[in-house]
Each structure stands twice: as structure tokens, then as C-alpha cells.
A and B are shown apart, each in its own frame.
Chain A
Amino acid sequence: MARLPANILERLLNLRFSQSTNCKRRLIRDFKRLSTDPPGGISGSPCPDNIMLWNAVIFGPAETPFEDGTFKLVLTFDESYPNKPPTVKFLSRMFHPNVYANGELCLDILQNRWSPTYDVAAILTSIQSLLHDPNPNSPANAEAAQLYRENMKEYVRRVKATVEESWLDPDDKLEGCGRGAGWRRGPILSLWSSLVCLSSYVIM
């Protein structure tokens, strides 16, 4: 029986898989970096059954009105990552000049100032510093921007309400992975399941 020469077979496999595996390989490296050398106040991991979909938490930076908040986000990657940024969305309700009502962000590095040298850790760190330093000149939430400029006391009060809300986010509000499974198990268990998922990707 005729056999396909190995190099042709390999090339066919490459055609079929290369684009998506490139992106997955990079995401596995991102996850490794995020778990071995995590920047303070952020955490994130891919869904156990879909590495293109990540859940993340940003802890509100100290000495800002966001302090003590646990803000959940979902990051959706497509095959052009890292040449294209992921879609990033807050799942927790936010009150911030640069966050739209639907949770999407107005952040230059996720739009026209994206660079393929950014990784998940860099994205989450940038968002964390956006909480610190809102940019009221390109408002996504006009009310938040106005209060930030003109009525700091009321701005702080409104933000603090979202901080308390962030602790109560019910699982079924999370549309990311594992509806109902991920967060209730607590960070250690979900980190563990992510590691298991990481090792299964490596074996693959």
C-alpha cells in the first residue's frame, strides 16, 4: 500500500494546525509566566477545556477607591494572537471613566497601540494601573469621568459600591468558563485544575 511520505504528511498537518497551535503555544507560555512569576494583585488562567478563553481577577490597587475589590474579567483570544490583542471584558460591574457599561474597556494598548510583545501578565497589569490612573479625556462612562473630575467624593462612593458588589458576584453571572465551577472552588483548587489542564496541553 502506498504511504504518504512523512514530510508531505507533516506539511498537511501543519497547514491544518499551525495557525491555531502557534497561538496556543504562546498562551501556554503566557500561563507559565503568569503562574511562576505572577505580578502582584492579578491572577488569571485559561479554562480547563478551552485555552482561548481565560478568566482573570484584578485586585483593586491599594490606596485607590478600588482597594479590596476583586474584579473579574474574561479574555477571549483568537488565532491571530499575539499579532492581534484579545477581547477583554469586565464581568464584575465597574464604575470607571474608561470602562463601558457592558464591561468593555477603552484602553489604547488593547486597540491601536497593541504590540505582539505583550502577554496576559502585561495586559492585566496595564488594566490594574488603569484603575489607578483613569484617563477622563477619553471617557467610556461619561458620568464616572465627570464625577472623577468634579466630585471626587461622590466618585469614591460610587466606586466603593462596586467594590462591595465585586465580592458578591454570583457564579452564574460569570459567562467565562466553567459556569458555576471555577470561582466557588477558591483560588487554590482552580489553580490546580488549570495546572492539570496545562499539563494536558503540553502532552498534546
Chain B
Amino acid sequence: MKVTVKHWHAVAQWRWDTGASESEGNDENEDVCGICRVPYEGCCPSCKMPGDDCPLIWGECTHVFHMHCLLKWIGTPASKQQCPMDRRTWVTAERKVGNS
């Protein structure tokens, strides 16, 4: 039998590399931004399109948020520049941003 491919669709899937392995990420809350509660792979409520325009941000404390959500919080005086999860002073981790 001879098969001729007439046309085909390529399908790809992407996810942010948050450091959590697939098996670890079972818990529903693991994969959502703690601020807006939208999955990391979605976008923050101010954006329309997920992807590079609405990236994630990593803190040195290892906590991860949508960058826009975190910056909005850090921009309020009430935040005292603290991570919303552990109240440590927010320091953006250099390693991940821009190369994942």
C-alpha cells in the first residue's frame, strides 16, 4: 500500500518552565498565579494573549507570578515591596527571566 500525505497540521503545546515537574504539578493551586488565580499558561487579567507579552516572574524566594500581577502589587505602598506569599522583600531572580 502506498500512502500519499496530502496535507498535515503541526500541533505544539507550550508551558512555562516553573521548575515544577509534571507529576508535581498535580495540585490545582500549584499552576495558577497566586494573585489573579489564572493558570500560568493563561495571561494576567489585563492581557488578552498568553505568551511572551505576559511573562512570568520569579523571585529569589522561588515564588512565581504573572509579571504584570506582581509588578502591580509591588507598585502599591501597602506591599512594602514584599513577596505576597512569604512577606520577604521581593528580589527578582535573574536566572529565569528571558530565557525560558
Q: Spell out A's residues near B (CB within 8 Å).
A: 10, 14, 18, 21-22, 25-26, 29-30, 33, 80, 82-84, 112-117, 119
| 13 contacts across the A-B interface (CB closer than 8 A) | A10-B48, A22-B36, A22-B46, A29-B37, A30-B37, A33-B37, A82-B35, A83-B73, A83-B79, A84-B78, A117-B34, A117-B84, A117-B85
| Residue pair B73, A119 in contact (C-beta under 8 Å) | no
B4 interfacial contact with A, CB 8 Å? no
With a CB–CB cut-off of 8 A, which chain B residues contact A80?
Answer: 76
Q: A116 and B35: CB pair below 8 A?
A: yes
A147 to B68, CA, bound (A): 48
List B residues at the A interface (Cβ < 8 Å).
Answer: 34-38, 45-46, 48, 69, 72-73, 76, 78-79, 84-85, 87
Q: Which of A14, A26, A114 contacts B36 (CB 8 A)?
A: A26
Cβ–Cβ < 8 Å partners of A114 in chain B:
78
Cβ of A116: which chain B residues have Cβ within 8 Å of it? 34-35, 69, 73, 84
Q: What residues on B are CB-neighbors of A29 within 8 Å?
A: 36-38
Q: Nearest CB to that of A82 among chain B residues?
A: B35
Contact status B37-A26, CB under 8 Å:
yes
CB distance from B42 to the nearest CB of A (A): 11
Report the Cα distance A67→B72, complex, angstroms: 41
Q: Which of A10, A18, A115 contacts B84 (CB 8 A)?
A: A115
With A29-B37, A82-B35, A83-B72 already in contact, the answer to whether A18 and B46 are too (CB < 8 A) is yes
Report the Cα distance A33→B38, complex, angstroms: 12
A67 to B73, CA, bound (A): 38
Cα–Cα distance between A18 and B36 once the two chains are bound (Å): 14
Known: A26-B36, A113-B87. 20 other contacts (CB 8 A): A22-B36, A25-B36, A26-B37, A26-B45, A29-B36, A29-B37, A30-B37, A80-B76, A82-B36, A83-B72, A83-B73, A84-B76, A114-B78, A115-B85, A115-B87, A116-B34, A116-B35, A116-B69, A117-B84, A119-B37
